[in-house]
Copies of this chain bind each other. A is one copy, B any other.
Amino acid sequence: MTLPPALLNLLRQTFAADACSFDEAERLAYAYDNSRRHAMPDAVVFPTEHAQVEALVQACRAHRIPVIARGRGTNTTGATVPVDGGVVVSFERMNRILRIDPDNRLAIVEPGVLNGDLQQALKPLGFFWPPDPTSSPWCSIGGNLACNSAGPRTVKYGSPRENTLGLRAVAGTGAGFRCGTYTSKGSTGYDLTRLLIGSEGTLALITEATLKLTPKPSGIRTLRATYRDVGAAARAVARIMAQPVTPCALEFIDDVALKLARDYGGEGVPLAGAMLMIEVDGEPDTLAGAAEAVSRAAQGDGLEELKVAQTAEETQALWSARKALSPAQRTISPNKINEDVVVPVSHLPELVDGIKRLSAKHDVLIVTFGHAGNGNLHVNLLPRDDAERERAHACLAEVFALVISLDGTLSGEHGIGLIKREFMPLALSPETLGLMRNVKAAFDPDGILNPGKLLP
């Protein structure tokens, strides 16, 4: 595609020379994301102000040119790959923390602020923003909102949808607008805020977000429990979530993943049929009681060892191993298929058993770990050659069918993007998809925003 001259002119008027690129080498850098899919955009722009985004969308709409919002491209679903060309809008320079207001427990940020930078800024004030993807040091808040990205703490503190008060954005119509509130409660019209969160840039481009902050508990305790097999660990997860003390992290790691983590993290990582990492937080005098309650629930058939991390270093080592799992898998398979299915926690034992069965049936290596407290597991298929890749795709379809049969859904925190949209009809009825298409048309009547994503 070549951009129309009138649009090129507008881009050059709206953006400074160093904030607007048509150069092939630079465009290439914005052609792919962590999905490893790629497609060349026709231009990349780097806005620093809301008004630029409005002008851009209005002009692109007039010329029917795709507009693709991009945070830092850490998503794994191809959500930021410009499959139909067009203009990639990288928010990396729109990265100011506009206000931190601890009295009202909110922060107002531009979309390019990195998750980790926000957490650092909040720390001295005793607050945090709960969503904490593994990629937090290098993923942006805008990207977190676009994908409803979560992380380990979601089990207790919720995802971006539960932790965002309001947004400023530009719809596909070209209209700039605000939605939501600066208050912790509101019932003034439709909830457009939550509608935009998780919409992967297909309805509007977020230019500002008012985030709800949570006081950071002053104490934390980390436990690790190893089990004979994945089924025993999954049954323990269901028991832990059925009692009243909600852990602030409840991570599951299967036997294959443990071996990988040990290669990376050293002998501190145990070898077992499966491991749980359980964390509880609160005021220091409450931790012993909370740890005891989750320990009781963690016990049962198949438990091999339960220990409380004694030092900060020990806790750190456990988390390093857990956080290294994603990159470590790349060493086995550059073509890993990285899923994030969810089922109700009581169905986790059936899910992990089913995955073991499908792994054997299709002869594909599968590593399973993740946020078990939400029933959200990262199911990673690791094909090592073309034949395995073909088998992996057949296996994946059966994994999704299993998840749906267990009252689960396709994605817990990665979103749909390019890669999972063909599976959407498994999870959603034609009626629900039809209404989603109507909503898309309500915000983006000409279909210019991130075409080819989310909806099948």
A-B residue pairs in contact (CB < 8 Å), sample of 18: A105-B241, A126-B244, A159-B185, A171-B435, A177-B429, A177-B431, A177-B435, A182-B408, A185-B371, A186-B342, A186-B412, A189-B198, A189-B455, A190-B436, A192-B195, A192-B439, A215-B245, A439-B442
Interface 1/0 per residue, A401-428 and B, CB below 8 Å? 0000001111111111000000010011
Do residues A187 and B454 form an inter-chain contact, with CB atoms below 8 A?
no
User: Which among A63-71, A280-288, A302-310 touches the partner chain?
Assistant: A280-288
A242 touches B195 (CB 8 A): no
A107 contacts partner chain B, Cβ-Cβ < 8 Å = no
Q: Is the CB of A188 within 8 A of B441?
A: no
Inter-chain contact B185/A345, CB cutoff 8 Å = no
Which B residues are CB-close (under 8 A) to A410?
188
Contact: B375 with A183, CB < 8 Å?
yes
Residue-wise, chain A 275-305 has the 8 Å CB interface mask toward B (1 for contact) of: 0000000110110010000000000000000
A410 and B187 alpha carbons, distance in the complex (Å): 8
Answer yes or no: A184 CB below 8 A from chain B CBs. yes
A243 contact set on B, CB distance < 8 A: 215
A104-B345 in contact (CB<8A): yes
> Bound state CA distance, A374 and B102, in angstroms?
14
Decide if B189 touches A454 in the complex (CB within 8 Å): yes
Query: Which among A187, A198, A343 has the highest number of chain B CB atoms within 10 Å?
Result: A187
A64 to B102, CA, bound (A): 50
Evaluate contact between A412 and B187: CB separation under 8 angstroms: yes
A435→B244 contact, CB < 8 A: no
Determine if A238 is an interface residue (Cβ-Cβ < 8 Å): yes
Q: How far is the CA of A431 from the CA of B192 in the complex (A)?
A: 12
A178 to chain B: which residues have CB within 8 Å?
A: 429, 432
Assess whether A452 is interfacial by the CB under 8 Å rule.
no
Check: A265 CB closer than 8 A to any chain B CB: no
CA distance A127 to B158 in the complex (A): 18
Q: Give the contacting residue for A376; candidates B162, B183, B429; CB below 8 A.
A: B183
Residue of B nearest to A432 (CB): B177
User: Quick check: B431 and A184 within 8 Å, CB to CB?
Assistant: no
Q: Are A427 and B188 in contact (CB under 8 A)?
A: yes
Given contacts A242-B102, A289-B283, A431-B177, contact A195 B186 (CB under 8 A): no
| Interface membership of A272, Cβ < 8 A | no
| One of B150, B415, B439 near A439 (C-beta < 8 A) | B439
Interface centre among A175, A183, A286, A346 (most CB of B within 10 A): A183
Write the nearest CB–CB distance from A284 to chain B, whole angstroms.
9
Interface assignment of A61: CB less than 8 Å from any CB of chain B: no
Interface positions of A from 353 to 372, Cβ below 8 Å from B: 371
Contacts of A286 on B, CB cut-off 8 Å?
282-283, 285-286
Interface size bucket, A side? 35 or more
A188 touches B238 (CB 8 A): no
- A270 interface contact, C-beta 8 A: no
List residues of chain B with CB within 8 A of the CB of A192: 195, 432, 435-436, 439
Closest B residue to A184 by beta carbon equals B374
> Which chain B residues border A106 with CB–CB below 8 Å?
344
Q: Determine if B148 and A187 form an interchain contact, defined as CB atoms under 8 angstroms apart.
A: yes
Q: Quick one: given A215-B244, A242-B103, are A183 and B374 in contact (CB under 8 Å)?
A: yes
A159 CB contacts on chain B under 8 angstroms = 185, 187
Q: Is A122 an interface residue (CB 8 A)?
A: no
- Pair B411/A187 contact, Cβ less than 8 Å: yes
Say yes or no for A120: interface residue by CB 8 A criterion.
no
Q: How near does chain B come to A207, taking the closest CB pair, in angstroms?
A: 13
B194 near A198: Cβ-Cβ < 8 Å: no
| Interchain CA distance A235-B182 in the complex, whole Å | 18
Excluding A103-B344, A183-B412, A195-B439, 20 further A-B contacts by CB distance (< 8 Å) are A103-B345, A148-B187, A158-B162, A159-B185, A171-B431, A178-B429, A181-B342, A181-B409, A183-B342, A183-B407, A186-B409, A186-B412, A188-B411, A188-B428, A190-B440, A191-B198, A192-B435, A194-B195, A215-B243, A283-B289
**Chain A window 148-192, contacts with chain B (Cβ cutoff 8 Å), 1 for yes, 0 for no:** 111000110011011000000001010111110111111111111
A450, CB-defined interface residue at 8 Å = no
Report chain B residues within 8 Å CB of A150: 185, 187
